[in-house]
Amino acid sequence: MTKTKVVHITSVHPAYDIRIFHKECRTLAAAGYDTSIVVPQTEASISLRDGVTTVAVKQSRGRFRRVLLTSPRVAHQAFHLKAALYHLHDPELLIIAVLLRVMGKKVVFDMHENLPRAILTKGWIPAVARPAISKFVWLLERIFLSGLPIIFAEESYVKDYSWVSTKAVIMNMPLLAEIQSIHEKKNNIPSLGYLGMVTEGRGCMQILRALDLVKKEGLNVRWECVGRVTAGIRDEMNSFAKSCNLDEIRIWGSKDATEAWRIIARCHIGAAILAPDQNYIESYPTKLFEYMALGIPVIASNFPLYRTIVEGERCGICVDPLRVDEIALAILYLLKNPTIAAEMGESGKLAVEKKYNWNIEKLKLLDFYKQVLGAREKNGMEL
Please check whether residue 9 lies inside any domain of the structure. yes
Please check whether residue 117 lies inside any domain of the structure. no
Q: Could you tell me if 13 and 155 lie in one domain?
A: yes
Q: Check residue 383 and give its pLDDT.
A: 37
Q: Could you tell me if 212 and 322 lie in one domain?
A: yes
- How many residues are listed for the chain in this entry? 383
Q: Check residue 42 and give its pLDDT.
A: 84
Output the tens digit of pLDDT for each of the chain's 383 residues: 689 999 999 998 888 999 999 999 999 999 999 999 999 988 888 999 999 999 998 887 766 676 677 888 888 898 889 999 999 999 999 999 999 999 899 999 999 999 998 888 887 788 889 999 999 999 999 999 999 999 999 999 999 999 999 999 999 999 999 999 999 999 999 999 999 999 999 999 999 999 999 999 999 999 999 999 988 999 999 999 999 999 999 999 999 889 999 999 999 999 999 999 878 898 999 999 999 999 999 999 999 999 999 999 999 999 999 999 999 999 999 999 999 999 999 999 999 999 999 999 999 999 999 999 984 444 444 43
Q: Check residue 277 and give its pLDDT.
A: 86
> What contacts 344, CB < 8 A, 6 or more positions away?
297, 298, 314, 315, 316, 334
Query: How many Å apart are CA 234 and CA 252, to the nearest integer?
Result: 10
Q: Could you tell me if 187 and 158 lie in one domain?
A: no
Please check whether residue 160 lies inside any domain of the structure. yes
Q: Could you tell me if 277 and 184 lie in one domain?
A: yes
Q: Could you tell me if 284 and 229 lie in one domain?
A: yes
Please check whether residue 133 lies inside any domain of the structure. no
- For residue 269, the enclosing domain spans 177-354
- Residue 229 belongs to domain with CATH number: 3.40.50.2000
Q: Check residue 75 and give its pLDDT.
A: 85
Q: Could you tell me if 96 and 197 lie in one domain?
A: no
Q: Kindly list the strands in the beta sheet with 34-41, ordered across the sheet, starting from the edge strand earlier in the chain.
A: 45-49, 52-58, 34-41, 5-9, 85-88, 106-111, 150-152, 167-169
The helix/strand/coil state of 59 is coil
Q: Check residue 1 and give its pLDDT.
A: 65
Q: Could you tell me if 188 and 305 lie in one domain?
A: yes
Q: Check residue 278 and give its pLDDT.
A: 79
Q: Check residue 375 and give its pLDDT.
A: 44
Q: Could you tell me if 195 and 63 lie in one domain?
A: no
Q: Could you tell me if 95 and 224 lie in one domain?
A: no
Count of domains in the chain?
A: 2
H-state helical runs in the chain: 26-30, 63-65, 71-81, 94-102, 115-119, 130-144, 176-180, 204-216, 231-243, 257-265, 278-281, 286-293, 304-310, 324-336, 338-354, 358-373
Q: Could you tell me if 162 and 208 lie in one domain?
A: no
Which H/E stretch holds residue 87?
strand 85-88
Q: Check residue 378 and give its pLDDT.
A: 47
Please check whether residue 70 lies inside any domain of the structure. yes
Query: How many Å apart are CA 178 and CA 290, to the nearest integer?
Result: 11
Please check whether residue 334 lies inside any domain of the structure. yes
Please check whether residue 330 lies inside any domain of the structure. yes
Q: Check residue 62 and give its pLDDT.
A: 66
Please check whether residue 140 lies inside any domain of the structure. no
Q: CB–CB of 356/17 below 8 Å? A: no
Query: How many Å apart are CA 365 and CA 108, to the nearest integer?
Result: 11
Q: Could you tell me if 243 and 369 lie in one domain?
A: no
